[in-house]
């Protein structure tokens, strides 16, 4: 049996006035996803259990068959796994965003999608300037970076993802709890360093958003997980540009494949991802393809970009995978956003996203195009959501 899973991050949405009351999934031209839904099963899946914030960390773990109540360690340790960053038991790993805060409002949680070269230079200078604070900074992808705090065994913090507070005051969202004074001091010192940094002077001259601050969040400690192959008897590979998904894959023993031009943004190389995924099917039982673009469009509030991203995913990734799989005797394919990122809200929500699946011994029930409404009309809702993987692979 050959399996493919496509994860269009944040593709689920709500009716949009600009689309005449349709969602981006309904408005997008996506013949391949619609074929899967019409010839297979549609339903909804509870990817974010009660009590958890609706993030891609919890939701993707769920979709890959891991119960967050048992297996979740925090977002930052999963990203650290992608970078091979080891932390001691008394250290705490943080996600470190470069952000733009103006008049104490979160103006841009990506610092204008700062370039890799600029982000690397800032990380290097932060390491030199804050070495005495007992913290180490590590480059990631663009604005998405990491920090490890030493001597942090007593820390018990609550933090807020910066993408959850776009264009909102930050005063109520600084880290809080035991050890928050130390983390706040690190963020304050970083602000002073960044204020007149050469990178930001150039960005201001060019009319680009400067990286005014670092935002520390998603903290946690690494936690070993049972391998995917041991749990499900399937050997898999993953294609993803963002460290979170790459880290989850490595933590559960799924091979991570490199793809040139995969950016984790709207300009990602969709065709290269599709080609790499179809090629991987010759060597692996399962290939997982994650695409960040719909989520980025949702955070930007850009409905047209979101529709376009869905269409590119369907054409360049789902289509080639479906064509390749259908040459096999036994195959299955699953399409599932991890969570909604409605363009009107610009933040994640915990509403169960739709999924569709087709292939060997999967029988059609609702012969409708893939959408939130059609999935809701189905009698199939997977709750708890981590049971979807077993259902997809073995039912």
Write down the pLDDT at residue 382. Answer: 97
Tokens of 198: 């050469």
**Residue 35 C-beta-side C-alpha neighbours within 13 Å:** 13
Q: Residue 5: is its pLDDT beyond 80?
A: yes
Residue 285 burial (10 A CB sphere; 0-12, 13-18, 19+): middle
Percent of the chain with pLDDT over 70: 100
Pairing of strands 381-382, 41-45: parallel
Rounded-to-integer distance, Cα 241 and Cα 260, Å: 10
Write down the pLDDT at residue 322. Answer: 98
pLDDT in tens, 132-157: 999 999 999 999 999 999 999 999 99
Write down the pLDDT at residue 131. Answer: 87
Percent of the chain with pLDDT over 90: 96
Determine contact, residues 209/107, Cβ cutoff 8 Å: yes
Residues of the chain with CATH 3.40.720.10: 2-73+224-394
Q: Residue 30: is its pLDDT beyond 90?
A: yes
Write down the pLDDT at residue 107. Answer: 97
Strand, helix or coil for residue 43: strand
Q: Residue 49: is its pLDDT beyond 90?
A: yes
Q: Residue 32: is its pLDDT beyond 90?
A: yes
Strand, helix or coil for residue 79: helix
For residue 248, name the pLDDT band (cuts at 50, 70, 90). Answer: very high
Write down the pLDDT at residue 365. Answer: 77
pLDDT in tens, 187-196: 999 999 999 9
Write down the pLDDT at residue 379. Answer: 84
Across 102-110, average pLDDT: 97
What does the mean pLDDT of the chain come to? 96
pLDDT in tens, 53-103: 999 999 999 999 999 999 998 999 999 999 999 899 999 999 999 999 999
In this structure, is the dihedral angle defined by the CA atoms of residues 165, 167, 169 and 175, taken in order, positive or negative? positive
- State how far the alpha carbon of 81 is from the alpha carbons of 101, 114, 242, 256, 335, in Å: 29, 23, 12, 12, 25
- State how far the alpha carbon of 375 is from the alpha carbons of 7, 59, 340, in Å: 16, 18, 14
Write down the pLDDT at residue 242. Answer: 93
Q: What is the pTM of this model?
A: 0.91
Across 20-43, average pLDDT: 97
Q: Residue 123: is its pLDDT beyond 80?
A: yes
Write down the pLDDT at residue 366. Answer: 79
Determine contact, residues 243/79, Cβ cutoff 8 Å: yes
Cα–chain center distance at 57: 7
Count CB neighbours of 380 within 10 A: 16
pLDDT in tens, 285-332: 999 999 999 999 999 999 999 999 999 999 999 999 999 999 999 999
Write down the pLDDT at residue 363. Answer: 87
Name the DSSP class of 338: S
- Residue range 2-73+224-394 in CATH 3.40.720.10: yes
């Amino acid at each position: 049996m050959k399996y493919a899973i496509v994860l269009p991050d944040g593709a689920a949405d709500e009716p949009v006035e600009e689309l005449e009351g349709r969602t981006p999934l309904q408005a997008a031209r996506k013949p391949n996803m619609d074929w899967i839904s019409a010839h297979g099963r549609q339903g909804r899946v509870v990817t974010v259990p009660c009590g958890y914030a609706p993030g891609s960390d919890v939701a993707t773990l769920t979709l890959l068959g891991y119960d967050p109540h048992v297996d979740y360690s925090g977002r930052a340790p999963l990203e650290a796994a992608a970078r091979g960053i080891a932390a001691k038991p008394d250290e705490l790993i943080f996600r470190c965003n470069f952000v733009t805060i103006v008049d104490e409002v979160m103006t841009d949680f990506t610092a204008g999608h700062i370039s890799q070269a600029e982000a690397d230079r800032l990380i290097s200078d932060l390491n030199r300037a804050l070495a005495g604070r007992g913290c180490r900074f590590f480059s990631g992808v663009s604005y998405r970076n990491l920090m490890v705090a030493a001597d942090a065994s007593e820390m018990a913090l609550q933090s807020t993802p910066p993408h959850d507070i776009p264009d909102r005051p930050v005063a109520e969202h600084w880290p809080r709890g035991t050890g928050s004074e130390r983390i706040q001091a690190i963020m304050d010192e970083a602000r002073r360093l960044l204020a007149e940094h050469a990178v930001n002077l150039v960005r201001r001259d060019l009319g680009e958003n400067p990286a005014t601050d670092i935002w520390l969040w998603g903290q946690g400690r690494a936690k070993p997980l049972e391998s995917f192959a041991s749990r499900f008897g399937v050997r898999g590979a993953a294609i993803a540009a963002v460290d979170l998904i790459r880290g989850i894959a490595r933590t559960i023993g799924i091979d991570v494949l490199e793809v040139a031009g995969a950016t984790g943004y709207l300009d990602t190389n969709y065709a290269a991802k599709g080609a790499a995924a179809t090629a991987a099917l010759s060597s692996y039982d399962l290939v997982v393809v994650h695409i960040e673009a719909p989520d980025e469009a949702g955070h930007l509030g850009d409905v047209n970009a979101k529709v376009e991203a869905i269409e590119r995913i369907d054409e360049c990734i789902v289509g080639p995978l479906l064509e390749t799989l259908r040459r096999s005797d036994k195959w299955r394919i699953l399409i599932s956003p991890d969570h909604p990122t409605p363009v009107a809200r610009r933040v994640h929500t915990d509403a169960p996203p739709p999924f569709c699946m087709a292939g060997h011994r999967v029988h059609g029930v609702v012969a409708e195009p893939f959408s939130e409404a059609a999935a809701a009309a189905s009698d199939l809702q997977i709750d708890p959501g981590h049971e979807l993987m077993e259902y997809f692979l073995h039912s």
